[in-house]
Amino acid sequence: MSVDEVFQEGNPVLHFQPAVDLATGRLLGFEALVRWEHPRRGLIAPDVLLPWAETSGYIVTLNSWILAEACTQAAAWPSAIQVAVNGATSQLRQHQMSAAAAEALQVSGLNPDRLTIEVTERTVADPSAADDLHALSRLGVHLAVDNVGTSWSTLGNLGRFAIETAKIDREFISALEPHEGMNRAITEAIIHVSHSLAISTVAEGIETAEQVVILRGFGADVGQGYFFARPLPSDQAYEMANSQPRMVFSLKDEVGEAPPSASHRRLTVVHGEADGELEIPRVHVL
């Protein structure tokens, strides 16, 4: 089947990858990730879906649906749990991202303070996207820049908008474990510069306990990756988000155990009556 033929059947669905506080292990929120559910081929991954959506002109419609669906599902989670959605550059250039976000928030009833829009380095540097980025900020949603580190010019652009989060590219995280190397220096520099600008940091693609240790040593705020959990179907994300008390992930490997294959292996629960009263600093980190 051609790519066009594949997307004549099925529908988009969302999976949600947890974002974890690297200081406490607490669940902070989820990033919404789109898949295409084909009746015979199963889930079609984003690396096939999104390029097709871009070239076919379907990306604006798809991204508007993602926003609406993510906000609707997040509205059923506790108010402390946030959701992040990736913004399409073409949608921002057409000044349609802020309109889609405003509609999704109004229909779902989700507080704008719980929604983060993630944009690319290219988008932040694109003058044609600037008006819509400012409009998103006026809505009260939060802005994050994805894949930071692949272009150093991004760090200079962070101050142009109300960017609150820098997501460190997974390529740097995957190469952290050698104790000498440029990747460690770049990662630490991104965290330092971001914090100096009052911007929080998210490390993507964490897969090992040693990466967690290094990132905590550098002062990274939040982690995502298979070390904690694979992206979850919406029903499992709902269950995790609504767990009482708040779900907490282990920040280290259990001795003698293999790396996790199941999405919930690292999940533990903090017990005790005082847990629900514990004040955790509020940081917009997705």
pLDDT higher than 70, residue 101: yes
Q: Report the greatest alpha carbon distance in the chain.
A: 57
Give me the percent of the chain exceeding a pLDDT of 70: 83
Mean pLDDT of 179-202: 88
> Which pLDDT tens digit goes with each residue over 28-77?
999 999 999 998 888 888 888 998 988 888 899 999 999 999 999 999 99
Report whether CATH 1.10.3720.10 matches the domain 3-277. Answer: no
The helix or strand, by DSSP H or E, that contains position 173, with its residue range, turns out to be helix 170-174
* Alpha-carbon gap, residue 131 to 122, rounded angstroms: 15
* Alpha-carbon gap, residue 267 to 250, rounded angstroms: 7
Residue 151, amino acid: S
- Greater confidence (149 vs 276) lies with 149
Local confidence band at 155 (pLDDT 50, 70, 90 cut-offs): low
Domain limits of the chain? Answer: 3-277
> Would you give the end-to-end CA distance of the chain in angstroms?
36
> Which pLDDT tens digit goes with each residue over 233-242?
999 999 999 9
Q: Which long-range contacts (CB under 8 A, 24 or more apart) does 213-216 make?
A: 213/252, 214/176, 214/177, 214/184, 214/187, 215/22, 215/173, 215/176, 215/187, 216/22, 216/23, 216/251
CA 221 and chain centroid, separation? 13
- Greater confidence (121 vs 159) lies with 121
Cβ neighbors of 111 (< 8 A, separation 6 or more) are 79
The residue assigned the tokens 């990736």 is: 86
Residue of 27, 28, 286 lying closest to 165 (CA atoms): 286
